[in-house]
């Protein structure tokens, strides 16, 4: 029996585990670092314990602190979630030695699968097909080259301790091998303290298909079908789905049999995943899949399996950890429907997906679909941890309907305050090759241009921005002296996908600013009329827009009154407002009714105004500088190095006075696990 469970994790997965534990009547203990003091997982748990400062090495990776937190709160079990210590056998040993139940596999099983080379050998011995290659102990560069020539090109060099694609190199031909080997070894040594590599034949048109397995302490092992995680970017999963498109009963049986053999070979207990690389060049075949590695934990993408089987994997983990047998036999586990998961990240697709830290001023998730998240409006994405905002999960009777549901769910998601990959995901789920399941792991890279969202705000978007921004000002404002004339505010609307960290700090600017459309004037006449002058500094293109009812346009703009505004110039910028509430504007354009989500906020230091507008496919962030501080910023811009994001300076190379060559590295900035 488990009565109190400590969750040694944070973010969405901590919240996810708390949800099931609570439903089972189990008390929960959250742990938090200083930056997570007010995080959602802390609020949801029955109790919470501080375990240290923000860096994970001083908090979420501290085995001693976690065990101490469990003992001090009287917890009898620890769930590790994924990431952090979830696959660290020493953590399992420490928990067991302290008399605590570890909700996961045994330390031995984790060790058996911990190193890719040993795991492959063990699987090959058990009769599981493994990717042809070399995974021996001879690490001499010359011998490795000889082995590589035997394996054939293209091939992959992989770090045996690798994860997250680190220490992995793609080698197209023999003459590149030595350089790639040297750099893979260097990276592996740095990242994992282990330079040992293995060589693998590169599988053409690769698809990543994995099987969910589950074992108990009574010797039972079942599978819960497969997940397709082929849509990846730099070996990181972006969209996952279950079942795999194009899977036949015959291939499914072959793959799930192999997965069960693999799990049984190491007496596996709890939830685990056997990852296979599949040659999809001629459809799925029962002789064209090979074991890559086993993840000995709950996977990020477990919700899609929960949807197609109706099983709560966390509940099973807790029951099995408490010594119960598996709740269902293999024959009782049925597959129905189709499920998709997209990973919503705080990252900037336009800047090579650089992670973005910042405040989530407003988050609005779709209703009627499963959203696993660890954040709420007002929370921060800090540079200390993975910048995952949420997993959006849809479930429908078939793949087409699940895609449709995902597309609509993404349209109904609005994240204001940081740049996200939302537009990229929206484009990806409706991409023709994904829709028709003609996919391999290179799909995203091949189509990256088409998938990168453009910042294309329409005149209607700009007009809406002015209407909402007008609500920030009113004629009774004491700014500026006037005698009967109009109070007017000149706004420079710069549009971007979202404010980068530097903008939200007020340091720099990366917006796309088309001079012909970015300076506007909003004026407030004494009679309450608001006039919007779009593109005012370019006289030939200037157009005047008046809003008829002052009420709606002043500070009461949010009370839900309705009014209309029409442009006297071009008709494309004319709209009729229907209603405005806190985060939504309804209006009609050309007789068509539309709804746009918005959120606005002021920067606490600079006073700059930000407005985020979410149309169906795009998020535009408009930025209105506070004119009172703009000048100071302009002056300080020379000789200043602006970091693209918050991070830690790891290394400063030259000392003051040193002469440096153009192109020389000056410092190393580390943020979100990247340098
Ligand atoms: P990591 O543990 O670093 O994530 P994996 O071994 O799990 O590395 O591989 C990550 C991804 O790299 C896979 O999902 C797949 O897309 C690709 N990959 C790995 N091995 C091969 C291979 N032999 N041929 C083709 N692609 C591969």
User: Cα(545)–Cα(197) distance, rounded to whole angstroms?
Assistant: 66
Cα 184 to ligand 1 centre (Å) = 14
Over residues 236-245, mean pLDDT:
97
Residue 489: what pLDDT? Answer: 62
What integer pLDDT is reported at residue 420 of this predicted model? Answer: 94
Which of 277, 280, 445 is the pocket-test mutation for ligand 1 (most atoms within 8 Å of CB)?
277
Q: Which residue from 222, 219, 323 is spatially nearest to 267, judged by alpha carbons?
A: 219
Report the pLDDT value the prediction gives residue 475, as an integer from 0 to 100. 43
What is the mean pLDDT of the segment spanning 656-664? Answer: 83
Give distance in angstroms: CA of 343 to centre of ligand 1.
19
What is residue 653's predicted lDDT score, i.e. its pLDDT?
Answer: 78
Q: Is the CB of 275 under 6 A from ligand 1?
A: yes
N- to C-terminal Cα separation, the chain: 45
Burial of residue 397 (number of CB atoms within 10 Å: 0-12, 13-18, 19+): exposed
Q: What is the mean pLDDT of the segment spanning 491-519?
A: 47
* Secondary structure of 537-585 in HEC code, one letter for each residue: CCHHHCEEEEECCHHHHCHHHHHCCCCEEEECCCHHHCEEEEEEECCEE
**Rounded to two decimals, what is the model's pTM?**
0.87
**Which region among 40-49, 84-93, 127-136, 466-475 has the lowest average model confidence (pLDDT)?**
466-475
Is residue 595 among the annotated active site residues?
no
Residue 581's pLDDT is 77
pLDDT value at residue 181: 96
- The Cα–Cα gap between 156 and 154 comes to 7
131 in contact with ligand 1, CB cutoff 6 A: yes
Closest C-alpha to ligand 1, atom 14: 208
Mutate which of 441, 443, 444 for ligand 1? The one with the most ligand atoms within 8 Å of its CB, which is 441
Q: 161 CA to middle of ligand 1, Å? A: 13
pLDDT digits (tens, 9 = 90+) for 296-316: 999 999 999 999 999 999 999
Please state the atom number of ligand 1 nearest to the C-alpha of residue 237.
14
Average pLDDT, the chain: 85
Pocket flag, ligand 1, residue 167 (CB < 6 Å): no
- Beta carbon of 293 within 6 Å of any ligand 1 atom: yes
Give the pair of three-digit tokens for residue 600: 């606005």
Q: What band does 163 get if pLDDT is binned at 50, 70 and 90?
A: confident
The CB of 208 under 6 Å from ligand 1? The reply is yes
Q: Whose Cα sits closest to atom 11 in ligand 1?
A: 235
Q: Which of 97-101, 231-235, 320-324 has the lowest mean pLDDT?
A: 231-235
Q: What is the pLDDT of residues 256-266, one digit of tens each?
A: 999 999 999 99
Q: Which pLDDT value is given to residue 495?
A: 65
Which tops the pLDDT comparison, 672 or 602?
A: 602
Q: For residue 650, name the pLDDT band (cuts at 50, 70, 90).
A: confident
**CA–centroid distance, residue 157 to ligand 1 (Å):** 10
Q: Is the CB of 203 under 6 A from ligand 1?
A: yes
Question: Distance, CA 391 to ligand 1 centroid (Å)?
Answer: 22
How many alpha carbons fall within 13 Å on the CB side of residue 634? 7
pLDDT of residue 580: 73
pLDDT score recorded for residue 502 = 36
Measure 424 CA to ligand 1 centroid, in angstroms: 23
Which one from 10, 122, 227, 297 is the annotated catalytic residue?
297
């Amino acid at each position: 029996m488990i009565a109190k469970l400590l969750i040694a994790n944070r973010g969405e997965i901590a919240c996810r585990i708390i949800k099931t534990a609570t439903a089972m009547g189990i008390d929960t203990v959250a742990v938090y670092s200083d930056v997570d003091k007010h995080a959602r997982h802390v609020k949801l748990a029955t109790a919470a314990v501080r375990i240290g400062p923000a860096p994970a090495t001083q908090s979420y990776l501290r085995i001693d602190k976690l065990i101490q937190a469990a003992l001090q709160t009287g917890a009898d079990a620890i769930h590790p979630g994924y990431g952090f210590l979830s696959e660290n056998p020493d953590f399992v040993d420490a928990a067991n030695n302290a008399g605590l139940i570890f909700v996961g596999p045994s330390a031995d099983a984790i060790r058996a699968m911990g190193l890719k080379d040993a795991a492959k050998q063990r699987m090959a011995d058990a009769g599981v097909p493994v990717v042809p290659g070399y995974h021996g102990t001879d690490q001499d560069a010359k011998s490795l080259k000889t082995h590589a020539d035997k394996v054939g090109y293209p091939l992959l060099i992989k770090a045996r301790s690798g994860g997250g694609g680190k220490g992995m190199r793609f080698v197209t031909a023999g003459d590149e091998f030595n350089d790639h080997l040297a750099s893979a070894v260097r990276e592996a040594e740095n990242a994992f303290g282990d330079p040992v590599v293995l060589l693998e034949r590169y599988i053409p048109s690769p698809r990543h298909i994995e099987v969910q397995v589950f074992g108990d302490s009574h010797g039972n092992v079942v599978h819960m079908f497969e997940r397709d995680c082929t849509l990846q970017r730099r070996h990181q999963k972006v969209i996952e789905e279950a079942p795999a498109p194009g899977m036949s009963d015959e291939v499914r049986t072959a793959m799930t049999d192999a997965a069960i053999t693999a799990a049984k070979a190491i007496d596996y207990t709890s939830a685990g995943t056997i990852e296979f690389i599949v040659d999809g060049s001629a459809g799925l075949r029962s002789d064209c899949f090979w074991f890559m590695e086993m993840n000995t934990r709950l996977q990020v993408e477990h919700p899609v399996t929960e949807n197609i089987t109706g099983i709560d994997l966390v509940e099973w983990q807790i029951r099995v950890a408490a010594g119960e047998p598996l709740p269902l036999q293999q024959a009782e586990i049925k597959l129905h429907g189709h499920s998709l998961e997209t990973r919503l990240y705080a990252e900037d697709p336009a800047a090579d997906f650089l992670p973005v830290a910042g405040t989530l001023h407003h988050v609005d998730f779709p209703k009627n679909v499963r959203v696993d998240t660890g954040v709420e409006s007002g929370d921060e994405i800090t540079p200390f941890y993975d910048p995952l905002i949420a997993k959006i999960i849809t479930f429908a009777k078939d793949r087409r309907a699940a895609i449709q549901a995902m597309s609509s769910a993404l349209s109904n998601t609005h994240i204001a305050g940081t740049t996200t990959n939302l537009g990229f995901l929206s484009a990806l789920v409706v991409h023709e090759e994904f829709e028709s399941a003609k996919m391999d792991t290179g799909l995203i890279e091949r189509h990256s241009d088409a998938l990168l969202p453009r910042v294309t705000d329409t005149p209607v978007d700009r007009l809406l921005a002015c209407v909402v921004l007008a609500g920030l000002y009113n004629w009774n404002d004491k700014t500026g002296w006037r005698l009967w004339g109009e109070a007017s505010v000149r706004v420079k609307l710069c549009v971007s996908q979202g404010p980068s960290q530097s903008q939200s700090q007020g340091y720099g600017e990366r917006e796309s600013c088309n001079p012909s459309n970015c300076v506007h004037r909003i004026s407030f006449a004494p009679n309450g009329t608001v006039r919007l002058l779009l593109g005012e500094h370019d006289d030939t293109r200037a157009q005047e827009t008046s809003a008829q009812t002052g009420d709606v346009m002043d500070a009461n703009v949010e009370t839900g009154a309705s009014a209309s505004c029409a442009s006297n110039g071009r008709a494309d910028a004319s709209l009729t407002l229907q209603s405005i509430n806190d985060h939504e504007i309804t209006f009609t354009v050309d007789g068509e009714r539309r709804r746009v989500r918005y959120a606005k906020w002021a920067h606490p230091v600079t006073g700059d105004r930000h407005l985020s507008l979410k149309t169906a496919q795009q998020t535009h962030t408009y930025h209105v500088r506070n004119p009172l501080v703009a000048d100071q910023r302009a002056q300080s811009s020379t000789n200043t190095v602006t970091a693209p994001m918050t991070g830690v300076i790891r290394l400063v190379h030259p000392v003051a006075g040193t002469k440096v060559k153009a192109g020389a590295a000056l410092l190393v900035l580390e943020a979100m696990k990247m340098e």
